[in-house]
Amino acid sequence: MSEPVYDVVIAGAGIVGAACAYACSREGLKVAVLERDFIGGGATAAGMGHVVVMDDSEAQFALTRYSQQLWQELASELPADCEYVRTGTLWVAADEEELIEVRRKHQFYSQRKVPSEILDSRSLDAAEPQLRTGLAGALFVKEDAVVYPPCVARYLLERSRDLGARVLLGKEVIRLDDEGAAFEDGTMMKGAVMVNAAGARAASLHPDLPIVPRKGHLLITERYPAFVHHQLIELGYLKSAHKSTADSVAFNVQPRKTGQLLIGSSRQYGMDSPEVDRSILSRMLARAGQYIPSLPGLSALRVWTGLRAATPDNLPLIGRCPGYRHVFAAAGHEGLGITTSLATARLLIDQLMSRAPAISSEPYSVQRNIAVHG
Amino acid sequence: MAELVWISIDESPVEVEPGTTVAAAILQSDTAGFRRSVTGEWRGPVCGMGICFECRVAINGQPHRRSCQAYCESGMVVRTK
Amino acid sequence: MTGPEYEVVIVGAGPAGISAACVVAETGRDALLIDDNPSPGGQIWREQERHGSNWEAAHWLRRLQLYRVEVLRGATVIDGDPDKHAIVCETANSVSTIRYKKLILATGSRELFLPFPGWTLPNVMGAGGLQALVKAGMPISGKRVVIAGSGPLLLAVGAYLKKQGAHVLAIAEQASWARLARFGLGLPTQPYKLAEAVQLKRALFRVPYHAGAWVEAALGETVLERVRLSLSHRRWEAPCDYLAVGFGLVPNIELAATLGCKLSAGCVQVDPMQQTSASDILSAGETTGIGGVELSLMEGRIAGYSAIGDRLNAQWLFSDRERMRRFARRMQKAFALREELRHLPLEGTLVCRCEDVSYQRIAPMPGWRAAKLHTRCGMGPCQGRVCGPAAEFLFGWHCQSTRAPVFPARIDSLIGHKEE
């Protein structure tokens, strides 16, 4: 018996692949998802799981905000193990200079109707007593949330399956072209449209995709309920983490629904081994300790690393792959894949259905002119 | 015999022989449930050797301490939950 | 990386670690023995330092003093860097990096716990666990105890508890009489073991010992009240104060795995010189395979000689070690776990005690990592040390997943451990 021809064949069952599968299934398309390992086992499991609006660029803002609104729609139906909590984000300003950035950000978000509020030093102390005193203030971005991504990916695929999608685990795709997906054993799965949603491995299927791994470290603690209340990020994050090609660390702590604290973050280029780098881990935790003096006394359960699929301009690749007629990419989401997964799926399905998207999809086009790293 | 050690367990004074672990002291005070699990079940010590983390209590205000691995010291304040 | 350097660092102060340390120290070399317990002796010789009665333990602990082996107590090795020949030790209020020329891992074993209905009730404990707690001051006199599980440890624990005044109501050994008899027939090749067996039998006079018997359920509202056993052809139920269960032992291989030592069948792989696959790291005792005190002492000595480059003395002990390993293999066969134990948990029975994850949530998962990520099984503070081996037995998964730190550690210990 030969395999049926699918409307959409998706390589990768991470959060992006799952979101695409769900979006396509809801349109009545016949979907197959192929995953080499298991659901959400790659960057989806390794990341922090934040749903944040970002303002590095207009394009990044548009995508993150659109996606955040899609998350808010989805939130009510998510099962408890998805741990969706609207914690909000506090962008913490250490000094007057960073406070200027707080005001700029506030204005930027206010103009675009994103609810946010400036906290002065005193109200920041009151909001997060564990932060060191004497910080200059913070911007409270109210609709940001945290979520547990592997369970969301599973939920989206379960819903897709209910709508007729086929999810094949332990099935590694070695080639994805206009015909379909090819496997190691010489067999193929045919599709009208193929989607590369293989995360950090996307470039191994299509080497033309400008994706490089950017390694990150995370640590999770024992349960300390109500230790902090919001996602906390240092404003220096923008300077240190996103705008540099050198290894960097930044203070980023999340309260999880379990009462645990998730502590990040680090960024390293040119590394694809999963090993923990003790030196950058130490720097990352010391940085967190500078903001939360009692943090070094807490008990750490686990440390792990993950690879972000980074592009040169920090925007994902969503659309037709160069050189193919039926192969699309939904990859290169760097550290924002959880946030932007839902919008990615919408932009993809709008392209497949030849509909006008809710936001312009131009900035994320695979064929866009990307400033390439030196 | 060496002098007894006084500790406080849930605000009750308990005297034990030196070399008694906090877990053993709690069991001496006839408490079987040391803590509540993440879904609220009572739990007590299991492995007795610091592996299972079931016997966790707060010692001198520090949460998540394994009571089977800590010896009683005079004036220690222990809280089960 | 800074920190003191020793010629030989030994992790684990049980029989294997102690004998290795003595061999090294005898030759005047500096050895450091590290243990996370407050006193040396490991689980088997626990509390021996204070009120010991075991002559063999006393002998080895005396030698440890005689050779002035430096012992670092209450110190947990949380991480290591084999390329730099360094390990990181956390104590109650400090962290230190210790460098070695040779490292001997003698981290011993822990009990295997298998889930059954009611196993999470307070006062259901490990067999070795209950013994350890009694040694540490837990009152047991006059208490009713049922012991269940598998292996020779059940008898030793039963004898110990009885001596301390407990009413041991029953000992339930899951292995059948037929298997035990086959095992028993081989005993005369080990006269020492036979004497031990006879001694135990005497100590357990009038304690009902059931083979082919296992625990079906622990019953009680919020604390253990009754125990139900399956004996051959009948059920047995009785009220009791404590249930002590242990289904054998599991090697503690987490540190070895973190340092990159190859494993096979859940044990650290070693060559005849007790050398692991990682350079300058050796391993001895239960970590390399469950075999008891005598084999641990023997492997420890060989590892000690091996670490100081004394091949001749090491080789001299090979044949003794081989004989003990054969005995250990027979023992493992005799106490092999029966199929029925796989079917003890009900759908709602918890498998992961840290995160309260039930059997029915874990069973449909494709494997250990998926179970961890999707159900939180093994994600709690025990880091899967309890539910990992259980899941391995129940589902046939490969449950080895080590992540730094080796044990939960203070964040400042991870900050302090950095390259200078």
Interface of A with B in 247-276 (CB under 8 A): 258
Same domain, C193 and C272: no
* Inter-helix orientation angle C292-307/C15-26, to 10°: 30
Q: For A138-166, what is each residue's pLDDT tens digit?
A: 999 999 999 999 999 999 999 999 999 99
What is the number of structural domains in chain A?
2
Among C115, C217, C116, C207, which residue's Cα sits nearest to residue C157? C207
- What is each CA distance from A359 to A362, A364, C147, in whole angstroms? 9, 11, 67
**Same domain, yes or no, for A191 and A227?**
no
Q: Report the gap between the CA of C205 and the closest CA in chain A (Å).
A: 46
Whether residue A216 sits in one domain with residue A360: no
- Answer yes or no: is A122 within a domain: yes
The verdict on residue C337 lying in a domain is no
Domain boundary among A310, A329, A347: A310
Q: What is the pLDDT of residue C286?
A: 97
- Say whether both C143 and C240 belong to one domain: yes
Mean pLDDT of chain A: 94
A221 and A331 within one domain: no
Q: Tell whether C324 and C311 lie within a shared domain.
A: yes
Confirm whether C238 is domain-assigned. yes
Note whether C307 and C319 are same-domain residues.
yes
Does any domain span residue A305?
yes
CB C356 to CB B37 under 8 A? yes
Examine the fold and report which residue of C247, C271, C299 is the final residue of a domain before the chain moves on: C247
Sheet order of strands, C144-149 included: C124-126, C242-246, C144-149, C167-173, C209-211
Domain that holds residue A161: 6-47+149-210+313-364
| Residue C403 included in any domain | no
**Other CB atoms closer than 10 Å to residue A77's CB: what's the count?**
9
CATH number at residue A221: 3.30.9.10
A216, HSE (Cβ side, Cα atoms, 13 Å): 30
**Is there a contact between A40 and C419 if contact means CB atoms under 8 Å apart?**
no
The CA angle A216-A219-A221, to the nearest 5 degrees, is 165
User: Confidence class of residue A136 from pLDDT cuts 50, 70 and 90?
Assistant: very high
What is the three-class DSSP state of C274? coil
Instruction: Tell me the CATH number at A321.
Output: 3.50.50.60
Contacts of A289 in chain C (CB under 8 A): 411-412, 415
Residue A223 lies in a domain: yes
**C22 and C139 share a domain?**
no
Cα C307 to Cα B42: distance, rounded to the nearest angstrom: 47
Give A86's contacts (C-beta < 8 A, 6+ positions apart): A75, A142, A143, A144, A145
Whether residue A220 is found in the same domain as residue A241: yes
In a domain, residue A59? The reply is no
Residues in chain B with pLDDT < 50? none
Helix (H, G, I), strand (E, B) or coil at C416: helix
Residues 6+ apart with CB under 8 A from B22: B7, B57, B59, B65, B67, B68, B70, B71, B72, B76, B78
Same domain, C122 and C243: yes
Domain check: are C104 and C125 in the same one?
no
Task: Say if C385 is an interface residue toward chain B (CB within 8 Å).
Answer: yes
Residue A231 lies in a domain: yes
| Residue C81 counted as domain residue | yes
Pair C132, B49: CB distance under 8 Å: yes
Number of independent structural domains in chain C: 3
* Chain C residue at shortest CA distance from A295: C411
The partner residue sitting opposite C137, judged by closest CB among B20, B44, B64, is: B20
Residues A137 and A26 in one domain: no
- Whether residue A154 sits in one domain with residue A301: no
Asked if B19 has any chain A CB less than 8 Å from its own CB, the reply is: no
User: A149-162 and C368-375 helices cross at what angle (nearest 10)?
Assistant: 100
Is A285 part of any domain?
Answer: yes
The reply to whether A238 and A251 lie within a common domain is yes
Cβ within 8 Å of residue C71, ≥6 positions away: C13, C32, C33, C34, C35, C40, C64
Co-location of C311 and C368 in the same domain: no
Q: Tell me: do C118 and C227 sit in the same domain.
A: yes
Residue-range domains of chain B with CATH: 5-79 (3.10.20.440)
Which pLDDT score, from 0 to 100, does residue A373 have? 40
Q: Does any domain span residue C406?
A: no
Residue C76 lies in a domain: yes
ipTM: 0.96
The alpha-carbon gap from B64 to the nearest alpha carbon of chain A, in Å, equals: 8
Instruction: Supply the pLDDT for residue C420.
Output: 38
Quick one: pLDDT band at residue A238, thresholds 50, 70, 90?
low
For residues A120 and A237, membership in a common domain is answered with: yes
Q: In which residue are the tokens 């609104």 written?
A: A69
User: Residue C280: which region, alpha, beta or left (left: phi > 0; alpha: psi -120 to 50)?
Assistant: left
Same domain, A240 and A296: yes
User: Are both A289 and A317 inside the same structural domain?
Assistant: no
CB contact under 8 Å between C411 and A45, yes or no, is: no
Q: How many CA atoms lie within 13 A of C205 on its CB side?
A: 4
Q: Are residues C357 and C292 in the same domain?
A: no
More confident residue, A374 or C300: C300
Q: Please give, rounded to a whole number of angstroms, the shortest distance from the CA of C243 to a CA of chain B.
A: 10
Residues 6+ apart with CB under 8 A from A178: A194, A324, A325, A326, A327
Find the domain containing C151 and state its range: 113-247
Q: What is the pLDDT of residue A56?
A: 92
**C26-to-A226, A252, C21, C65, C311 alpha-carbon distances in Å:** 54, 52, 8, 11, 16
Note whether A234 and A346 are same-domain residues: no
Which residues does chain C have with pLDDT short of 50? Answer: 1, 185-186, 188, 418-420
Residue C400 resides in a domain: no
Mean of pLDDT values over A79-106: 96
Among the listed residues C109, C73, C103, the one whose alpha carbon sits nearest the alpha carbon of residue C87: C103
Q: Is A126 among the domain residues?
A: yes
Domain-terminating residue out of A310, A327, A355: A310
Judgement on whether residues C145 and C240 belong to the same structural domain of the protein:
yes
The domain spanning residue C189 has which CATH number?
3.50.50.60
Query: Do residues A227 and A254 lie in contact, with contact meaning Cβ atoms separated by under 8 Å?
Result: no
- Is residue C117 domain-shared with residue C233, that is, in the same domain? yes
Q: How many residues does chain A have?
A: 374
- At A85, give phi and psi (nearest 5°): -135, 130
Across the interface, do B38 and A223 touch by the CB < 8 Å criterion? yes
Q: How confident is the model at residue A237 (pLDDT cuts 50, 70, 90)?
A: low
User: Which of the residues C369, C415, C419, C420 would you substitute to probe the A interface, choosing the one with the greatest number of A C-beta atoms within 10 Å?
Assistant: C415
**Token code pair at residue C87:** 């390990």
Q: How much is the pLDDT for C175?
A: 93
pLDDT value of position A371: 58
Residue C96 lies in a domain: yes
pLDDT tens digit sequence for C15-45: 999 999 999 999 999 999 999 988 888 888 8
Q: Do C374 and A40 touch (CB under 8 A)?
A: yes
Specify whether A221 is located in the same domain as A112. yes
Q: Domain for residue A16, yes or no?
A: yes
Contacts of A222 in chain B (CB under 8 A): 63-64
The residue written with tokens 């990859």 in the block is A331
* Residues making up chain B, counted from first to last: 81
